[in-house]
Amino acid sequence: MADSPHLSLERQRELVSFVRQDCGSCHGMRLTGGLGPALTPDALKDKPIAALISTILQGRAGTPMPPWNKFLSESEATWIVDGLQKGFPDAR
Amino acid sequence: MDCKKVFLMRAKRKLMQKSMAIRDIISRLALPLLVTASLVGCATPTLRGTGDLGVVIERATGSVQILDTTHRSSLGKVNGLGDLSHASVSYSRDGRYAFVFGRDGGLSKVDLLTQSITHRVIQAGNSIGGAISQDGKLIAVANYEPGGVRIFSVDDLTPIADIPAVGANGKRSKVVGLVDAPGRRFVFSLYDAGEIWVADMHKPQQPILHKFTDVGKEPYDGMITSDGHFYAAGLFGEDGVALLDLWNLQAGVKRTLVQVGRHGEKLPVYKMPHLEGWATTGDLIVLPGVGQHEIILADQNTWQEVARIPVAGQPVFAIARPDNRQVWINFAFPDNETVQVLDLPSRSIVKTLKPGKAVLHLEFTPRGDQVWVSARDDNRIDIYDPETFEHIGRLPADKPSGIFFTSRANRTGL
């Protein structure tokens, strides 16, 4: 697996909270799914990394998943995908 | 353990240390006196009603706090409610018990007076909300996984009925927008199948289902008007609202308010609006412009748009003050630090507040003297006077989301 892109610790904390809380409103705070699918390592293990990054940044047509590229850079999306596939850190 | 038991144990331990003779005397004479004295000094349970109580969900810790709106205080915390990252609450008809629906399929019955969980079941893998029946005997839960509705006895959460949401397409669907309706009915929408079902619960073990198919793509939530006359499902996959007249099921579901939608522009929606609790004032119904920074006002009789009000972000909740003069609105990320107040007579925004980071919900006291606002990322509840907008109180809470007062016990739909 590629190294995680370098992000400041503060930004990493913000992203953990963002994923748990804001992505969590559709995917569940424990990322086990809701209106949106589960984002657990098991659910994502066979998904190509580039496709997951693209889903975060561009959204997914025909579903409620919106593009987040106004709020996240490509390296941040990469960091999130890497974290999701490894098992996402807890907010606390 | 209650303090009476603690006292008796201590008294017994002390007695063991005394001589036999003295013990005899004490056990015959002094102990009953001591017990009486201790009960006076004990935290004697005071009789009280629940009309000024409520709960706030603490989503990260799986707990609720019991709230008191008379003293603007928290009476205590109840832990062990599971994953509350999405949660809602219905109340028993006596306003004593809160039924908490968790993300993980947990259904818990919480006694506000003893501040404890009396019953708890994990009834599904993933759920979204629920409602209590008109007669107060049944609690229904809308589930994503497995898609359907499960119905339980309010007394002890014994399963009563299971309604798998298999749509006309033969596939199991997530269920959203579950409400109770007059005539001992539950009404809900099938997100994946695009259907609305009415379950007649006169025979609780054998619900009679009326199914309305092809109501529109991806109904994302539903609401019932406060008089219980209409059920409306908001559509995500196409424009408009699917409307069902519950006084006349034969007329079927009609599409209305086609202005309420994304008009094929595929506007990103950063958080699904909630329709439950959206204002229906008798004359006007207030709806979110999905994906838009707009509130749509429609005539509640004709269901035609009458006005469109620009607001600060994508609306999530729009809650009418109990006198129906104002509507308080919160917003999706990234505008979720803001709350706006819409004055209906002038159809204008009369106040913009910044209560805190990530405002997730707001709830009025039954007569509208206070509004409680949860600010998730600031870990607090802020209380405002809705008349003057003055900040009148603040309580700490751990990642608070929904606030639910017991006045919901007496509202159709919840």
Average pLDDT over chain B reads 88
Higher pLDDT, B40 or A70: A70
- Is B272's CB within 8 Å of A35's CB? yes
Cα torsion B310, B313, B314, B315: sign: negative
Digit-coded pLDDT (tens) for B354-394:
999 999 999 999 999 999 999 999 999 999 999 999 999 99
Could you tell me the domains of chain A? 9-86 (1.10.760.10)
Q: Are B298 and B287 in contact (CB under 8 A)?
A: yes
Instruction: Assess contact for B273 and B221: CB atoms under 8 A.
Output: yes
What residues in chain B have their Cβ under 8 A from chain A's Cβ atoms?
A: 59-60, 83, 85-86, 103-104, 126, 128, 144-145, 174, 176, 191, 218, 220, 236, 266, 268-272, 333-334, 358, 376-377, 399
Rounded Cα distance, B165 and B187, in Å: 12
Query: What pLDDT, in 10s, does the model give residues B166-191?
Result: 999 999 999 999 999 999 999 999 99
pLDDT at A75 over 70: yes
Q: Which domains does chain B have, with CATH numbers?
A: 4-40 (no CATH), 123-266 (2.130.10.10)
Identify the pLDDT of residue B400. 95
Q: What is the ipTM, given to two decimal places?
A: 0.85
CA atoms within 13 A on the CB side of B226: 18
Torsions phi, psi for B67 (to 5 deg): -110, 150
How far is it, in rounded angstroms, from Cα B61 to Cα B379? 12
> B218 contacts in A (CB within 8 Å)?
64
DSSP code per residue over B98-129:
EEEE-TTSEEEEEETTTTEEEEEEE-SSEEEE
- CB-based contact A22 B377, cutoff 8 Å: no
What are the C-alpha distances in Å from B177 to residues B37, B69, B403?
54, 28, 18
Dist CA A78 CA A72 (whole Å) = 10
